[in-house]
């Protein structure tokens, strides 16, 4: 594997850290800026909104630029957003800075996936994507706990300064390790070619698979803390360690999924979604004892992230003529899955179905994702839809053309 993948992983590590660290800093931020914790929670939503808007927008407007230049520019925007967060004078400025920090997230992973797969042989494409995503999963094991501890000891502003430093290190790595390339307009058709990729039904089905598949994860993971404390009986102080176990499982699943998908991408995706549905369906049983609950957390991370690389490659495969925009849109789909899954899981709790009911909602979403993925492949095998009226019109004119040529 080329060393340049390390540069992408460093950037992913910084992005993963800043995305998830806000959850642990909410009480500190709320107290310092004199707002309520629910109001401070909007800082999480602002980042997610930045991802959803920025992923397709930035990928589209940079379609004619060198991908190496795009990656460096996106990481520079990431540094600017986090530095602005560190020096935000009040809540409104911090809210805007979090939105800016989220803008480059999706486009970085989307363009990075295209760059990663372009640097390796075809039989190693999934592994190259998984190594880029490795920075994201390791962030959940090391980056987020360390950044949270830094914020608690030295203030939440120090956390965002630290993340900005990671971003600067990523810029240096990208500049020195990513090979120079030319503008992509000739090969991808520029902005028009990228936008044309979104007219394909298989692309939208692939994005729908991401929303359903990772929506299954977030339906359960959003409420994992009350499951662990109220059902499995863990003390609140031990939840942080258990969430680190989720990061371990996610790292294992990410690396495993990358390796398996290089041999059988469709089989890995289907098996991953089926495994995720099974693990979530067993949550009501697994959450009845401490040891099985800890195992469930690891299995949840493993099963969910086995599908990460195959889902990214699936979207790129369906939009092979212009993959950058579709690949970035897939990152927006991940964040829509986050919001949608959490909302659906919350509905089951509000309906009184029990503390583990969000996991059952997640199992249903995983089955839905399996169905959408199967439909995407069925449509792809059937080929482009032909319009019967046009076929008859062309056939009716063929004999006359032939006669004209003969005469």
pLDDT band (50, 70, 90) for residue 39: confident
Q: Give, to the nearest 10 degrees, the angle between helix 125-138 and helix 91-118.
A: 150
Mapping DSSP to helix (H, G, I), strand (E, B) and coil, where does residue 320 land? coil
pLDDT surpasses 50 at 407: no
Task: In whole angstroms, give the CA distance from residue 304 to residue 280.
Answer: 10
The answer to whether 1-183 and 189-383 have equal CATH topology is yes
Torsion angles phi and psi, residue 64, rounded to 5: -95, 0
Domain segments of the chain: what residues?
Answer: 1-183, 189-383
**Tokens representing 142?**
């090391």
Q: What is the pLDDT of residue 392?
A: 45
Using pLDDT thresholds of 50, 70 and 90, give the confidence band for residue 210. Answer: very high
pLDDT band at 182 (very low <50, low <70, confident <90, very high): low
Q: What is the pLDDT of residue 148?
A: 80
| Gap between the Cα atoms of 364 and 141, Å rounded | 28
Q: Alpha-carbon distance 166 to 160, whole Å?
A: 10
Q: For 268-275, what is the mean pLDDT?
A: 95
Angle separating helix axes 201-221 and 290-306, nearest 10 degrees: 160
Average of pLDDT values for 202-219? 90
Q: Across the chain, what does the average pLDDT equal?
A: 84
Q: State the pLDDT at residue 385.
A: 46
Q: Is 385 helix (H, G, I), strand (E, B) or coil?
A: coil
pLDDT given for residue 314 in this prediction:
86
Q: What is the mean pLDDT of residues 221-231?
A: 86
> What is the rounded average pLDDT of the residues 16-22?
85
Mean pLDDT across the stretch 129-139? 88
Instruction: Give yes or no for residue 292 having a pLDDT over 50.
Output: yes
Fold of 1-183: Growth Hormone; Chain: A; (1.20.1250)
Residue with more model confidence, 319 or 144: 144
pLDDT score at 226: 86
Tell me how far apart the alpha carbons of residues 303 and 362 are, in angstroms, rounded to a whole number. 13
Residue 4 CA to residue 120 CA, distance in Å, equals 11
Helices (H), 139-155: 144-154
The C-alpha atoms of residue 281 and residue 362 are separated, in whole angstroms, by 8
Q: What does the pLDDT average to over 326-354? A: 86
At 185, the pLDDT band (50, 70, 90 cuts) reads very low
Structure-model confidence comparison of residues 289 and 384, the more confident one:
289
CATH number assigned to the domain with residue range 189-383, chosen from the 4 options 1.20.1250.20, 3.40.30.10, 3.40.47.10, 3.40.50.720: 1.20.1250.20
Instruction: List phi, psi (to 5°) of 178.
Output: -75, 125
Mean pLDDT, rounded, for 271-290: 95
Q: What is the mean pLDDT of residues 310-316?
A: 86
**CA angle, 289 as apex, 283 and 292 as ends, to 5°?**
60
If pLDDT is split at 50, 70 and 90, which confidence band does 242 have? confident
Angstrom CA distances, 264 to 253, 312, 341, stand at 15, 14, 28
Q: How many CB atoms lie within 10 A of CB 14?
A: 29
pLDDT per position as a tens digit, 363-393: 999 999 999 999 988 887 765 544 444 444 4
Q: What does the pLDDT read at residue 391? A: 41
Q: Is residue 169 pLDDT above 60, yes or no?
A: yes
CB contact at 8 A, 25 and 156: yes
Do residues 223 and 348 touch, judged by C-beta distance below 8 A?
no
Mean pLDDT of 125-129: 88
pLDDT at 26 over 50: yes
DSSP assignment letter at 62: T
């Amino acid at each position: 594997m080329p060393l340049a993948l390390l540069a992408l992983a460093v950037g992913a590590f910084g992005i993963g850290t800043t995305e998830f660290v806000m959850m642990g800093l909410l009480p500190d931020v709320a107290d310092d800026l004199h707002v309520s914790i629910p109001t401070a929670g909007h800082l999480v939503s602002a980042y997610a909104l930045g991802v959803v808007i920025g992923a397709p927008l930035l990928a589209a407007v940079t379609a004619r630029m060198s991908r190496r230049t795009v990656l460096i520019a996106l990481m520079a925007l990431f540094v600017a957003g986090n530095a602005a967060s560190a020096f935000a004078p009040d809540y409104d400025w911090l809210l805007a800075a979090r939105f800016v920090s989220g803008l480059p997230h999706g486009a970085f992973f989307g363009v990075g996936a295209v760059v990663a797969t372009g640097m390796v042989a075809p039989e190693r494409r999934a592994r190259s994507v998984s190594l880029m995503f490795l920075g994201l999963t390791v962030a959940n094991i090391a980056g987020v706990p360390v950044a949270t501890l830094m914020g608690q000891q030295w203030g939440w502003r120090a956390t965002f300064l630290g993340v900005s430093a990671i971003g600067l290190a990523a810029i240096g790595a990208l500049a020195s390790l990513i090979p120079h390339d030319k503008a992509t307009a000739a090969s991808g058709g520029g902005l028009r070619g990228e936008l044309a990729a979104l007219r394909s039904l298989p692309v939208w089905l692939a994005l729908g698979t991401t929303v359903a598949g990772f929506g299954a994860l977030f339906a359960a993971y959003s409420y994992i803390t009350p499951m662990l404390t109220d059902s499995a009986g863990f003390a609140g102080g031990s939840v942080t360690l258990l969430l680190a176990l989720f990061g371990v499982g996610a790292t294992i699943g990410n690396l495993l999924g990358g390796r398996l998908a290089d041999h059988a991408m469709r089989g890995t995706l289907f098996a991953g979604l089926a495994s995720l549905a099974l693990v979530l369906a067993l949550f009501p049983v697994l959450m009845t004892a401490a040891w099985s609950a800890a195992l469930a957390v690891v299995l949840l991370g493993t099963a969910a992230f086995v599908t990460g690389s195959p889902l990214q490659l699936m979207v790129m495969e369906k939009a092979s003529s212009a993959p950058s925009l579709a690949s970035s849109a897939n990152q927006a789909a991940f964040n829509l899955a986050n919001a949608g899954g959490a909302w659906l899981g919350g509905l089951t709790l509000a309906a009184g179905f029990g503390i583990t009911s969000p996991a059952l909602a997640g199992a249903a979403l995983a089955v839905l994702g399996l169905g959408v993925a199967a439909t995407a492949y069925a449509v792809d095998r059937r080929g482009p839809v032909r319009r019967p009226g046009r076929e008859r019109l062309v056939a009716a004119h063929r004999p006359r053309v032939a006669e004209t040529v003969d005469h």
